[in-house]
Amino acid sequence: MKDTIDKIRSMFDGGDADEKREDLVFVTVPATQVVDCLGYLRDRAGYRHLVMISAVDYIERGVFQLTYLLHSYEKQNDIGIRADIGRDDASMDSIHRLWAAAQVYQRELREMFGIDFPGSPRVDEPMLLEGWEGIPPMRRDFDTKKYSEETFFPREGRKTADPATHMAEKNYASEEQVKRSVKDLVRGRRKRKGNDG
Partner 1 sequence: MSDEIKKVNGIDEGFDEISEYFCDARPSPVSPSANRIVRNFQNWAQANSIFILGFGTGCGAIELRPLFTARYDVSRYGLFPRPTPRQSSLFIIGGYASIKTMKRIIRSYEQIQNPKFVMGLGSCTVNGGMYWDSYNTINRLDHYIPVDVYVAGCMPRPESLIAGFDRLKELIMEGKAEGANTYAENFDWYKNNQKKIIKNWNMPEYNW
Note the helical H segments in the chain: 2-11, 34-43, 102-112, 144-151, 163-166, 175-187
Contacts by 68-72, CB closer than 8 A, 24 or more apart: 68/34, 68/38, 68/95, 70/38, 70/41, 70/42, 71/47, 72/45, 72/46, 72/47, 72/48
| Shortest separation between residue 146's beta carbon and partner 1, angstroms | 9
Which residue in the set 137, 178, 195, 196 belongs to the binding site for partner 1 (CB under 8 A)?
A: 137
Does 104 interact with partner 1 (rule: CB under 8 A)?
no
| Shortest separation between residue 127's beta carbon and partner 1, angstroms | 9
Does 164 interact with partner 1 (rule: CB under 8 A)?
no
Contact between 141 and 135 under an 8 Å Cβ cutoff? The reply is yes
| Shortest separation between residue 130's beta carbon and partner 1, angstroms | 5
Does 148 interact with partner 1 (rule: CB under 8 A)?
yes
| Shortest separation between residue 108's beta carbon and partner 1, angstroms | 14
Which residue in the set 5, 67, 101, 142 belongs to the binding site for partner 1 (CB under 8 A)?
A: 142
Does 58 interact with partner 1 (rule: CB under 8 A)?
no
Does 153 interact with partner 1 (rule: CB under 8 A)?
yes
Segment near partner 1 (CB under 8 A), from 43-51, 72-80, 146-154, 170-178? 146-154
**Cα separation of 116 and 85, whole Å?**
11
- Residues paired with 66 in a beta bridge: 55, 83
Residue 66, H or E segment: strand 63-72
Contact between 50 and 99 under an 8 Å Cβ cutoff? The reply is yes
Which residue in the set 155, 159, 192, 193 belongs to the binding site for partner 1 (CB under 8 A)?
A: 155
Determine the distance from the C-alpha atom of residue 23 to the mean position of all C-alpha atoms in its chain, rounded to a whole number: 20
Does 158 interact with partner 1 (rule: CB under 8 A)?
yes
Residues forming contacts to partner 1 in the complex (CB under 8 A) are: 128-133, 137, 142, 144-145, 147-149, 151-155, 158
